Amino acid sequence: MTILIVEDEIDARETLRDAFEDAGYSVGVAANGLEALAILQSETPKVVLLDLVMPMMTGNEVYEAMRREARWSSIPVVITTSDPSRAPDGTFVMRKPLDLRKLLLVVEQIANAPPAKP
């Protein structure tokens, strides 16, 4: 899987999945934070697109869980939100409504970037 899309709104989730699959990416989807963490147990995406406002577990809680877990801490996260002030410090934020072309370019740059050196 190249991209994990974590989005509770079904229309937004399906639109993002379709756009990234049409662009040739392997895509996983999660409707909430708990599903996202379950997927991360067995998959390691190159990028996570993470909505902040979701039921069961917020995007901020998912982000913090990812940063605490060594095997997930280096996965780049793109926050998707209508309120960027809610995003964790130091994250890349895309404001909703999303510009799909811009988002595709951002993810392409992240997914194809060489791994960070320690």
pLDDT at residue 105 is higher than 90: yes
Mean of the per-residue pLDDT values of the chain:
93
Average confidence (pLDDT) over 29-53: 96
- For the chain, give the percent of residues with pLDDT over 90: 87
Predicted TM-score (pTM) of the model is 0.92
Whether residue 76 is preceded by a cis peptide bond, meaning omega within 30 degrees of 0, is no
Domains and CATH numbers, the chain: 3-111 (3.40.50.2300)
Crossing angle of helices 100-111 and 10-22, rounded to 10°: 60
Q: What is the pLDDT of residue 117?
A: 54
- The CA-CA-CA angle for residues 73, 59, 24, to 5°, reads 70
Q: What is the pLDDT of residue 111?
A: 83
pLDDT at residue 49 is higher than 90: yes
